[in-house]
Structure 1
């Protein structure tokens, strides 16, 4: 788990970047310093104005031999020397109906009791508006609007509070082209809105941990409009919702048994955590037999150990050569924060790549040091690396855009919404992650324009393949050949979805 949060009165992170020396430019990065206000969670900070996306990519460039830009359109796990996995919602899958309900209830209770918002709105059962939930929605904080974006910042759909806006209303607010300057800039560089000045205007709900915040935010806006008898000129709701997320997810809560969320999971893990199948566990063992396998998670070591034990089993550490917790993605892939040793649950001394060892667990760190460690252990100057994860910003966009680590996207909506050519796939929590009112997470062919959502485009552009879960891969040999995404605009660009493309993208 790695939730990006910002304190109400000050940013969690204040980032200072300096160019990394030539020796480190081989694998890229910026040095930066974090000053932590709420050390448990990923924060937002203002990136120096002179640092541009192009300059970042220039500094982080690797030798051409590290990645051939004319790659074949075939993907094989066997082609990689090192394979890494995210934990939450990748290896460890949650019972999402129960988990999202818990998250909403804890958040709503906090907003009523600690922030004084209207219980009549917030404490309504989640089920009343369950179809309003969707991963990947974007907040326009100040207008009280919730948006679904296309790839270029185009507003595909939008609501004010929980009331969906008409096309005329969207165009009246954002212009006839339905583009908000902030959403356009966000789509051009997803990390600018993660850490930069845009983070004060826009926020995306990128995974199942913060997905319920959309309904809480929307219901508060509804209540304020009714109270005032009209729309407000300016909404200042988000700082309070953010405080509620911090209250739930700050990393000290697991150890202290506070905040409502972690304590509920600890009391009854079977209610919230799915057991990983034997097929996937055996698949990991098979990979480890011939590859270096690493676990890279945003969760603090105590929560990561808890979820890994309950999903992968008591011997979960044997599945990985090295484990990195509290990785603070996406910054892990763009910065140079040192790895920290662990004394039990306590972070201790910083450690360089030359002192990392197989069999250990570390905290924080950065990709460039991990890559140097992997190069040393494999004996290869440029080992070919792959990372498998669910969060399209943290796990797919960041490593693919800012390093030469390839990615596989694990998106549960692919199975829950339905795949072409596979009517047998069943997702037990489809009702909470599939939304009729927002439409497909991936977009749809039936609409004007190309119909793709921002997340559909990110998936195709930055991952090699996309799967609904790891079980669909586990019975296949590592040499199995998958069609990769092609970057073409015709239907061949859908071949990277496995075992089938989203039904919404094949509709006419």
Structure 2
């Protein structure tokens, strides 16, 4: 098959913030950047302590320092629950790399388990319909660790598999450990625990927020003010209102609410973009009464809700029948794929791996060791045509306008700056939608791009 070609830039492949009437933001790992080395370590410790104390798993394996397997960590890995395997997927659902527990499998072992083409029917189905994995039957067989909040779960999963294999002296026929890990994640992030300080996670953040949260630069603050002066702005976060207020105050300042025309907390994405849950009023961090979409008000904070009612609110606020909307977020399923696929809202992807793994420009990331992996290789794949691109690389290209490592790089250019947008053509292998530079793993096209 011929190598996909590069397209020449055209007006339709140009992206500008100034072209949008309404611009929305995710909070966690988007406007609120975490100090990921400390954050991931805290998450792993809270999760592993729960699994040992509440579920009886091996302390010898689970309570080893995270640093002992730091290179096992990567966002976007997929768990094959019953086999005890951790997978890295290609864009078509085939398996690029795999481990059993934390032990990496050879090519021959992968083919023995998943077939000569390394295409497991469940992983292929996952890449074709991610919402089936989220709530449907696939969710009982497969799970991806899609952001930095659940990324440590893959290491906990791998270490538990290692411990069970060692105890039995062989592989088990079936591993049934994911429900216990899921219980641990629910316990750690349960929204009621922010106030009660249970679970170990929220209490650590509250006691020392500067250890975990980056403050936004004046550039970002001024950029948000500039956007709000000419456009409708909104915030949609999965965090409960008390935690969202805590993190936003620490990164954006005490007047953080003034940057947005409307704020939605505990949005329960991706269902926010596909469902019809009512908005709920919030008073003193407590949910009170459901409210109809027509009664949404400027400057207020709400809980839950749905995109259709929010879009109608934005239409009323702007006076436009069909305002052009953009959403900026880091979770490629919840914040990029679902808005792009199920609404008319465009998306910008925030992917810190773009900076951590290195770009074709100088860029420093504090947390490179914990979010880049020599063992798994690049988050984006190797750039050798579509067959070498990771599933996440293809999702970024298909469902986002541009991809950046952080909001700061956006705040450094004017709102009418013309970005090269991704080309929405499966036959075109064009990575110029990455700004301010292409990830090094995809840089094989560098010279071709220059020549066109």
What is the CA deviation profile of residues 65-88 of structure 1, one whole-angstrom value per residue up to 9, with x for unaligned ones? xxxxx9811100000000000000
Q: Measure how far apart 1:507 and its partner are.
A: 3.7
Q: Secondary structure at the match of 2:430?
A: helix
Runs of 4+ residues over 2 Å off in structure 1 = 487-492
Q: Measure how far apart 1:187 and its partner are.
A: 0.4
Please give the residue correspondences for 1:103-118 in structure 2 after superposition, counting only pairs within 5 Å. 103-118=43-58
Q: Measure how far apart 1:352 and its partner are.
A: 1.4
Q: Secondary structure at the match of 1:450?
A: helix
Q: 1:495 aligns with which of 427, 432, 445?
A: 432
Structure 2 gaps, min length 5:
1-9, 446-452
Aligned residues: 436
Contact kept in structure 1, 2:359 and 2:440, CA below 8 Å: yes
Partner of 2:395: 458
Q: 2:411 aligns with which of 440, 465, 474?
A: 474
Distance 1:166 1:501 in 2: 30
Distance 2:152 2:196 in 1: 24
1:171 aligns with 2:108: no
Partner of 1:263: 203
When the two structures are superposed, what TM-score results if normalisation uses the length of structure 1? Answer: 0.84
1:378 aligns with 2:315: no
Please give the residue correspondences for 1:106-505 in structure 2 after superposition, counting only pairs within 5 Å. 106-420=46-360, 422=361, 424-445=362-383, 450-488=387-425, 493-505=430-442
Q: Indicate how the Cα distance of structure 1 residues 159 and 465 shifts in structure 2: closer, same or farther if over 3 A, else same.
A: same
Structure 1 gaps, min length 5:
1-69
Q: Measure how far apart 1:445 and its partner are.
A: 2.8
Contact kept in structure 2, 1:487 and 1:493, CA below 8 Å: no
Distance 1:445 1:167 in 2: 20
Q: Measure how far apart 1:348 and its partner are.
A: 1.2
Q: Measure how far apart 1:364 and its partner are.
A: 0.3
Contact kept in structure 2, 1:409 and 1:463, CA below 8 Å: yes
Q: Secondary structure at the match of 1:381?
A: coil
Alpha carbon RMSD of aligned pairs, Å?
1.3
What is the CA deviation profile of residues 156-199 of structure 1, one whole-angstrom value per residue up to 9, with x for unaligned ones? 10000000000111110110110111111110011110011100
Distance 2:285 2:410 in 1: 33
Worse overlay, 489-498 or 72-81:
489-498
Distance 2:219 2:366 in 1: 19
Q: Measure how far apart 1:449 and its partner are.
A: 6.1
Q: Measure how far apart 1:490 and its partner are.
A: 7.5
Contact kept in structure 2, 1:171 and 1:178, CA below 8 Å: yes
Q: Secondary structure at the match of 2:247?
A: helix
Partner of 1:79: 19
Contact kept in structure 2, 1:94 and 1:273, CA below 8 Å: yes
Contact kept in structure 1, 2:386 and 2:429, CA below 8 Å: no
